Chain A
């Protein structure tokens, strides 16, 4: 393999990884406010794609209007998920029932989406020019660059939300914090879905995979740690692509889970995680 090929592969890995990062950041913002991982995060990304199809392709509204509506809508669905699947079961602090209830909410989102959009992939319109940026013999689609930049700036957005939560911690009640976190978490996922859509074929089937991969991004970096999640997401994207080169494209997920288990066995709190006390 030539050196340019390797760098090109890393670039593609970074684009994929940026999507994982965006989902991972969505997990983090919810987690830091509520100690819950919203297992519907990947389905929210899918919903971002599909509502993107509706507003941007079917209705062909201007891109900024479409993206704002997508973020608002997906954020609202996320808040609904909080109301339906997290609030009712989160009464006791040690209970893990929310894993099941948020998975259930994810299933509801997916099945409703299948009813609305069908299970076939849908075409999407290009947002940016398709002509790749060429640099030193490397190629990167402008859309890919946008995804990478968004992932890095998403970290700042999430950090802002988390800081605000920390600042308002003393005055504001838990429920409003939780609603805000779910709203932002959903909006991030919706935005991620919208900007990812031109790079892939939007389909209702992708959610589960992104739920898992985004979570691995968090777990690699340390749960709730934004810097770690950004690193974890990009690292996962690159590792996965190299793994796919070696063992075949259909084993990407296998490579991802192998990396996850290996890292967790070596360092259970993630690479950037702090030591945690075991709760009794």
Chain B
């Protein structure tokens, strides 16, 4: 509740701070599902977050899509990365998984720099059009509510997650893959699903991030204490 009236109470700087916290607060539950429930440690979320952010930034400026389809593309891209990276990485066991995801985060950084025509390299992308609904163009205040809504959705999906069928199977796989297999729960599919969920959360958080920075710059991640360069 306090967060909804916040824009009227504090100045822009603190608002940005709060919005950044909310956005990383969307990545974190995804990571919690991964590391906390399934027991997988992934460092790739920074890269997937960047994929979401750059999708929105590029599709709205270069292609001229509006925010909603661009965000959908960004989230799908995040999910696709989760699958493509997850399938080989998941076969390798927990420790290699962490390593491969670290490699992915490094590789994404190289690519974003390399594709300067699309990503603007170090300077990033500026003047990203605001989201709109039926011709109504969002203001900075609406951006705040958009970000809040994404945060609320993330909380909605993850609260009580351990009581759901998926949640329970994740915990089971973490505690013992053998028992999970004996009970008919495929560890591979369960881990892949949890990585997929984690990726979607990260990408979704990424899609609204350009509205905080007003110019999608290279990925900042919850794993790193500052924007990496």
Query: Chain A: residues with CB nearer than 8 A to chain B?
Result: 37, 96, 99-100, 103, 107, 111, 119, 205, 208-209, 211-212, 215-216, 219, 248, 250-254, 256-257, 260-261, 264-265, 268, 280
Q: Decide: A257 and B224 in contact? CB cutoff 8 A.
A: no
A103-B223, A111-B226, A261-B89 given; A219·B114 CB < 8 A: no
**Is B6 part of the binding interface, using a Cβ–Cβ cutoff of 8 Å?**
no
A248-B114, A257-B100 given; A265·B91 CB < 8 A: yes
Q: Decide: A208 and B93 in contact? CB cutoff 8 A.
A: no
Distance from A201 Cβ to chain B, minimum over Cβ atoms (Å): 15
Contacts of B176 in A (CB 8 A): 280
B104-112, B123-131, B142-150 - the one binding chain A: B104-112
Distance from A240 Cβ to chain B, minimum over Cβ atoms (Å): 12
Q: Decide: A268 and B93 in contact? CB cutoff 8 A.
A: yes
| Majority-rule SS of A interface residues | helix
Q: Decide: A219 and B106 in contact? CB cutoff 8 A.
A: no
Nearest chain-A residue to B111 (Cβ)?
A254
Q: Decide: B41 and A96 in contact? CB cutoff 8 A.
A: yes
Q: Decide: A257 and B104 in contact? CB cutoff 8 A.
A: yes
Sample of 23 A–B contacts (CB below 8 Å): A96-B94, A96-B95, A96-B98, A99-B41, A100-B35, A100-B41, A107-B224, A111-B226, A119-B229, A205-B229, A208-B228, A212-B99, A212-B102, A216-B99, A248-B114, A250-B113, A251-B114, A253-B103, A253-B106, A254-B110, A261-B88, A265-B92, A268-B92
In the assembly, what is the distance between CA of A36 and CA of B225, in Å? 23
Q: Decide: B88 and A265 in contact? CB cutoff 8 A.
A: yes
In the assembly, what is the distance between CA of A99 and CA of B95, in Å? 8
Contacts of A254 in B (CB 8 A): 107, 110-111
5 extra A-B contacts, CB within 8 A, seeds A99-B41, A254-B107: A212-B99, A254-B110, A257-B104, A264-B92, A268-B91
**Is B122 part of the binding interface, using a Cβ–Cβ cutoff of 8 Å?**
no
Of the four ranges (under 10, 10 to 19, 20 to 34, 35 or more), the interface on chain B belongs to 20 to 34
Q: Decide: B107 and A257 in contact? CB cutoff 8 A.
A: yes
Nearest chain-A residue to B177 (Cβ)?
A280
Distance from A170 Cβ to chain B, minimum over Cβ atoms (Å): 28
**Is B178 part of the binding interface, using a Cβ–Cβ cutoff of 8 Å?**
yes
Distance from B227 Cβ to chain A, minimum over Cβ atoms (Å): 11
Distance from B226 Cβ to chain A, minimum over Cβ atoms (Å): 7
Distance from A121 Cβ to chain B, minimum over Cβ atoms (Å): 12
Contacts of A248 in B (CB 8 A): 114
Query: Which of A100, A219, A256 contacts B96 (CB under 8 A)?
Result: A219
What mask results when residues 190 to 229 of chain B are scored 1 for a CB within 8 Å of chain A, else 0?
0000000000000000000000000000000001111011
What mask results when residues 20 to 40 of chain B are scored 1 for a CB within 8 Å of chain A, else 0?
000000000000000100010
Contacts of A219 in B (CB 8 A): 96, 99
**Is B43 part of the binding interface, using a Cβ–Cβ cutoff of 8 Å?**
yes
Distance from A92 Cβ to chain B, minimum over Cβ atoms (Å): 12
Nearest chain-A residue to B114 (Cβ)?
A250
Contacts of A111 in B (CB 8 A): 225-226
A96-B41, A251-B114 given; A260·B35 CB < 8 A: no
Contacts of B99 in A (CB 8 A): 212, 215-216, 219, 260
Nearest chain-A residue to B104 (Cβ)?
A257
Q: Decide: A257 and B103 in contact? CB cutoff 8 A.
A: yes
A107-B224, A111-B226, A254-B110 given; A37·B103 CB < 8 A: no
Q: Decide: A256 and B103 in contact? CB cutoff 8 A.
A: yes
Q: Decide: A209 and B96 in contact? CB cutoff 8 A.
A: no
In the assembly, what is the distance between CA of A86 and CA of B92, in Å? 23
What mask results when residues 22 to 64 of chain B are scored 1 for a CB within 8 Å of chain A, else 0?
0000000000000100010101000000000000000000000
Contacts of B113 in A (CB 8 A): 250
Contacts of A212 in B (CB 8 A): 99, 102-103, 106
In the assembly, what is the distance between CA of A268 and CA of B91, in Å? 9
Distance from B119 Cβ to chain A, minimum over Cβ atoms (Å): 13
Contacts of A252 in B (CB 8 A): 110
Distance from B18 Cβ to chain A, minimum over Cβ atoms (Å): 24
In the assembly, what is the distance between CA of A274 and CA of B229, in Å? 38
In the assembly, what is the distance between CA of A37 and CA of B98, in Å? 11
Distance from A67 Cβ to chain B, minimum over Cβ atoms (Å): 29
